[in-house]
Chain A
Amino acid sequence: MATKREFLESIPYFTGLDNAELDSISQLFSERKVERGEIIQLEGKPAEALFFVASGAVKIFKISTEGKEQILSIARPGESFNDIAVFDDGPAPASVEAMTPVTLYRISRDELHTILHEHPEVALNTTRVLADRTRQLVSLVEDLSFRHVINRVARVLLENAGDGSTSGTRLTQQEMAAMVGSVREVVARSLKDLEAEGTIRLERHRIRITDREALEEMAEAAT
């Protein structure tokens, strides 16, 4: 794993800084180790720090009032989380959980604000990072709100199902996402919703269509 200084040099927030500036900034970061399954940030709670993933991965997610989990994104090495709340001083808009053992670099909100005042390049880089994040979230909102991905997933399942005499097509959730113009996280949620409605049953490496008529009605709505 890269040293803290090498790591910071590679991430978009600190692009363009000279060695002295990077050395100075890296002193403000502390390392934190987290076990798989540990909650790092709870939605609605204050976000006291910005985190960068040095190794491992975390999921950033929301839980609906019905208790359904929607993964908004996954932060892998070099990526950050808590960006929004740490800049607007509001509560965290989503929860964060470690998917693996994770090493994080943490910088407090106050120290980050100091860096932004002292290093205008970092402020400009931050604008780019947040703009990119906004673009990703707008795309996700479009998927969840307007495109009715679940209906298109229903159609994909019907078009690729085997009837017993012929074997069905084998598809990954990533491939289904590409077929319906969405992302894997939304397809995973759609499959769980279809299972909850009783139209399919998710088995180990098999999706069994249990209510063909209901699935066809959903697929029809996608046209």
Chain B
Amino acid sequence: MPEMPKIDEEKCDCCGLCISACTCGAITMIDNTITIIETDECGWCTMCELICPNNAVICAYEIVFDKEA
């Protein structure tokens, strides 16, 4: 399955803005905890990270040199 954004539960206050911003339904609330659902639909738009007021959503990029670079 594809890599997905991660939630820092210590920073997350479960405001739910990331759920509302996600266009592919990859973020939901289960038992009062923000939970990521693995899906191929996630295009790493990073809107969930942008909208989070607590910097609790982690959409990390791995930085690599292209072989041709």
Q: Which chain A residues lie closer than 8 Å to B59 at the CB level?
A: 172-173, 205
Interface bits B14-56 vs A (CB < 8 Å: 1, else 0): 0101001101000000000000000000111011011101010
A164:B67 contact, CB within 8 angstroms: yes
A168:B63 contact, CB within 8 angstroms: yes
Sort chain B's interface into a size bin. 20 to 34
B3 touches A (CB below 8 Å): yes
Question: B-side interface residues toward A, CB under 8 Å?
Answer: 2-3, 15, 17, 20-21, 23, 42-44, 46-47, 49-51, 53, 55, 58-69
Q: How far is the CA of A173 from the CA of B55 in the complex (A)?
A: 10
B17:A171 contact, CB within 8 angstroms: no
A24 touches B (CB below 8 Å): no
Sort chain A's interface into a size bin. 35 or more
Q: Which chain A residues lie closer than 8 Å to B50 at the CB level?
A: 71, 74, 173, 184-185, 188
Q: Which chain A residues lie closer than 8 Å to B49 at the CB level?
A: 172-174, 184
Q: How far is the CA of A177 from the CA of B47 in the complex (A)?
A: 16
